[in-house]
Chain A
């Protein structure tokens, strides 16, 4: 392979050649390459276009967060070329280009850049207002990142959980030493690193051979410990309370609960700022070293090295060793006078310009990148007088400083302080169980970093009770590692601070001038640090600039908040498996055999109706309802909440939580009850049956069962009552057998007397049916003679079959939720949650009859006393449409309109065979809710439909049918479940 690949070295497998496509051209790389290294090995310097101005961009940092080189494989929209392992046959495109990467049609925007300062669209595109959506669409199309592919298959990734005594984040020298130390003490250790290989700076720093040997030694020590797990190509996405850290790899999220966390996340090298510092070929010194030592790629042929620290001189030596000609080393400081690496550089004949800066980089005519730089004398914070010089080169390596990777420490609640030496924020106060080590802690020399890792490990071990050793304090660097102000102003700008968002030095001065001179305001106005790398290569410089503008120490400027996630997490990882549990009743298989069409009711699947070929849903629902009215019907009501309550205070509990009276109930009877919250809002209803003096069995609504059960548990605890409750919702099945023939059918099977005298309306009986134990309640929810049969779930299918067989000659038919809704609506029975909402009181729902205000206490009573004195807001009433109405009927939630104002809302509507017209329930303004009043409902499309208020029940107002034709006093109201 030709180009820029070095003849030997690197952590690549030269035996495995991998062909791949980038931007429509074919290249070759080696196993072990990333896309970025393979492209540079092929001499491809232009790898992407910038976010806003579509400027040509090359590799900047090569540290997994380089946003200059973002690509897409057509499915994942924003892959980082520097973190993307090369695979054979990859086909990748640069994101955010129009046409191709080389001839991006949007590159013209770069020429217009001076008309597009920060905040330009806030100020420009809002007048006239109607044009804004147009501009917004255009801006969104031009500026931006990869596009989503909505045709791509949904990735399914399981979430995993793990535990560790000590979680070490970062496998550089400090992290490795910490893991070895903690592992030797017997702790269960997880060591995680975002790079494909562990070792951190040991995989690229000088002296490379020695560093690699050190890394190998530490990794061998770890491999010997079964209690240490090393996870590479995995990043810690955030820190959450009590040491809860999600680890993200290519396939999954693993949520790790650690007892202690060692943060050894290292530093991000920061760019110097000068005109055209974003040209392809201008890169961080550590990126050049990564290219050489990890991938055996010569980063450039003829280099200029810009430095302000010893690290820059070490990088220069690496470049020389890799055969790069160094035209000059430009030193912002006088570091080159005294450090040993600088002396070696000078000895090897390289020209060193102390106290000089790069003023500007010049682009090659073919757009491939840098071809020369202009340099000038520098006085520490600005250009000094003196001769300028232009130096030809095809690459610039920058080493002017580092920013600690403190995101996780900030999230954990660490307090940081800026130290002039080494020139970075260091932690001064860490939360319990969190420890920092290595360069993130301001420790720079290799031996010190490893000792610092051990120090952190000992502290972590002491925290979890596995050690008592008290280590020495950290040895923080006392030399200038990071330059306080590596910014060179230029009249024509294009000196970039934030490569993600194309922000230039002048943008910061302008923002401060306009009053956004607080770091959080500056961030929001300029959007610095809000791009995909979240400021990993720009936030520190933004802080330095603001401190310079305000003439304040960096410490008082502070930093912005580093929120999770540290690095973008695929949405598919977060979504997980898309778990959507459903509950099936004990009779589900029977319903399937009967071609039931299922609907969701809470978590349950219930038959909506039973399909028969050639018939519409409306027809079938009508037929099912008719069967109940004329013969017999069977409905699975196993989804009702079913609760058994016992204890000396069982009656007292019911007395307090339901609005009715239960103390005087006789065993063997049932009563309807409604439950309120403290504000007097109806939250649930059900049928309460008394089995014995201290034992009750009652039902709740399907959707309310979990809430009611929980609330009862809470109240029993709160009030200290001698009562226990058991939730039998899943353990018991329930079938409602209803219709004029219900008794005849049941009598064939029951082992006890179900006659009217032995088992009257509202009675509760326990007995066996065909030998199977059951509890039966005489209910009238659908308005016919009805038995609600509760039994252990395992007996339900057998009983269902017996009932179907016994009822065959009576025209028995299973009916679904739709028919039941229609039948109960004919009786004017409300459904909590459909005919009530989160504010409905019993007064509004016409349920006063179920509320015994003269009881000493029930939940919600006090609020009802207050509400009772206030005018009613709305009232639930029955309504009917005209008999000859034949247009599209209103739907639930359609509004009642009076004089252009909302005066109510339809809550239930249906078509009644018995009435021969549409009818339903409606919330109305109280003055409208009087029998005979007429009102208008606005339906879809805006038409108004007239309706009239009528009294309920609509059907069998005396309730004779559910009471089995028993002559009853007219005053007795229909009561049901």
Chain B
């Protein structure tokens, strides 16, 4: 069980949040090829290490946040608002 610092509400238990997907996925431009679109819809990396994620404070302010989490240690390196671009450690 993690502690996640919501940028709006402060530190809360993981149980208040829901994971909402890979935040590194970018929607390709409208004229991008089919392969790029396919990849953005269906293909996800399963990295061992740092991972940018969308989380939602579902049982709190209901807002979406970006979280940089380590998939092995669960360590959280950075948390940002949707418009932020939290840095991923080396």
A583 is an interface residue with CB less than 8 A from chain B: no
- Determine whether the beta carbon of A242 is less than 8 Å from that of B41: no
- Determine whether the beta carbon of A240 is less than 8 Å from that of B56: no
| Given contacts A241-B1, A242-B1, A857 and B64 within 8 Å (CB-CB) | no
Q: Is the interface of A mostly helix, strand, loop or mixed?
A: mixed
| Residues of B with C-beta under 8 A to A717 | 63-64, 82
Residue of B nearest to A677 (CB): B41
A571 is an interface residue with CB less than 8 A from chain B: no
- Determine whether the beta carbon of A240 is less than 8 Å from that of B1: yes
Please encode chain B, from 32 to 57, with 1 for each CB lying within 8 Å of some chain A CB and 0 for all others: 00100100111000000000001010
- Determine whether the beta carbon of A718 is less than 8 Å from that of B13: no
Among A257, A857, A862, A863, point to the contact of B13 (Cβ < 8 A): A257
Q: How many residues of A contact B (CB 8 A)?
A: 19
| Residues of A with C-beta under 8 A to B73 | 241, 413
| Residues of B with C-beta under 8 A to A413 | 73
A714 is an interface residue with CB less than 8 A from chain B: yes
B9 is an interface residue with CB less than 8 A from chain A: no
- Determine whether the beta carbon of A241 is less than 8 Å from that of B64: no
A714 to B57, CA, bound (A): 12
- Determine whether the beta carbon of A242 is less than 8 Å from that of B64: no
A209 to B11, CA, bound (A): 48
Among A244, A678, A866, point to the contact of B1 (Cβ < 8 A): A244
Please encode chain A, from 789 to 821, with 1 for each CB lying within 8 Å of some chain B CB and 0 for all others: 000000000000000000000000000000000
- Determine whether the beta carbon of A862 is less than 8 Å from that of B2: no
- Min CB distance, A85 to chain B, in Å? 31
Residue of B nearest to A709 (CB): B62
Q: How many residues of B contact A (CB 8 A)?
A: 21
| Given contacts A244-B1, A717-B63, A857 and B20 within 8 Å (CB-CB) | no
| Given contacts A241-B1, A679-B41, A862-B37, A718 and B82 within 8 Å (CB-CB) | yes
| Residues of A with C-beta under 8 A to B34 | 866
A100 is an interface residue with CB less than 8 A from chain B: no
Residue of A nearest to B41 (CB): A678
Interface centre among B1, B34, B40 (most CB of A within 10 A): B1
A713 is an interface residue with CB less than 8 A from chain B: yes
A240 to B2, CA, bound (A): 8
A710 is an interface residue with CB less than 8 A from chain B: yes
A445 to B56, CA, bound (A): 51
- Min CB distance, A356 to chain B, in Å? 49
| Given contacts A413-B73, A714-B56, A857 and B82 within 8 Å (CB-CB) | no
- Determine whether the beta carbon of A713 is less than 8 Å from that of B64: yes
| Residues of A with C-beta under 8 A to B13 | 257
- Min CB distance, B69 to chain A, in Å? 10
| Residues of B with C-beta under 8 A to A257 | 1, 3, 13
- Min CB distance, B84 to chain A, in Å? 12
- Min CB distance, B22 to chain A, in Å? 13
A793 to B64, CA, bound (A): 29
Residue of A nearest to B65 (CB): A717
Residue of B nearest to A866 (CB): B34
- Min CB distance, A156 to chain B, in Å? 21
- Min CB distance, B24 to chain A, in Å? 14
- Determine whether the beta carbon of A714 is less than 8 Å from that of B2: no
A713 to B58, CA, bound (A): 11
| Residues of A with C-beta under 8 A to B1 | 240-242, 244, 255, 257
| Residues of A with C-beta under 8 A to B62 | 710, 713
| Residues of B with C-beta under 8 A to A713 | 56, 62-64
A893 to B88, CA, bound (A): 48
Among B37, B41, B42, B56, point to the contact of A710 (Cβ < 8 A): B56
Residue of B nearest to A431 (CB): B73
- Min CB distance, A725 to chain B, in Å? 11
- Determine whether the beta carbon of A863 is less than 8 Å from that of B41: yes
Within 8 A of B (CB), among A953-969: none
- Determine whether the beta carbon of B56 is less than 8 Å from that of A241: no
| Given contacts A413-B73, A678-B41, A862-B37, A241 and B2 within 8 Å (CB-CB) | yes
- Determine whether the beta carbon of B2 is less than 8 Å from that of A242: yes
Within 8 A of B (CB), among A840-866: 857, 862-863, 866
Within 8 A of B (CB), among A661-707: 678-679
A413 to B42, CA, bound (A): 33
Please encode chain B, from 1 to 29, with 1 for each CB lying within 8 Å of some chain A CB and 0 for all others: 11100000000010000001000000000
| Residues of A with C-beta under 8 A to B58 | 710
Residue of B nearest to A255 (CB): B1
| Given contacts A241-B1, A241-B2, A714 and B74 within 8 Å (CB-CB) | no
Among B3, B20, B42, B83, point to the contact of A242 (Cβ < 8 A): B3
- Determine whether the beta carbon of B20 is less than 8 Å from that of A714: yes
- Determine whether the beta carbon of B82 is less than 8 Å from that of A242: no
Within 8 A of B (CB), among A847-892: 857, 862-863, 866
A720 to B81, CA, bound (A): 12
- Min CB distance, A569 to chain B, in Å? 16
- Determine whether the beta carbon of A242 is less than 8 Å from that of B37: no
- Min CB distance, A106 to chain B, in Å? 44
23 pairs, CB–CB < 8 Å, chain A vs chain B: A240-B1, A241-B1, A241-B73, A242-B1, A242-B2, A242-B3, A242-B74, A244-B1, A678-B40, A678-B41, A710-B56, A710-B58, A710-B62, A713-B56, A713-B62, A713-B64, A714-B56, A717-B63, A718-B64, A718-B82, A720-B83, A857-B30, A866-B34
Further pairs besides A255-B1, A857-B30, A866-B34: 10, Cβ < 8 Å = A242-B3, A242-B74, A244-B1, A257-B1, A257-B3, A413-B73, A679-B41, A679-B42, A718-B82, A863-B41
Q: Which 8 A-B pairs have the closest CB atoms?
A: A244-B1, A241-B74, A242-B3, A678-B41, A717-B82, A240-B1, A717-B64, A241-B2
The residues of B with any CB-CB pair to A shorter than 8 Å are 1-3, 13, 20, 30, 34, 37, 40-42, 54, 56, 58, 62-64, 73-74, 82-83
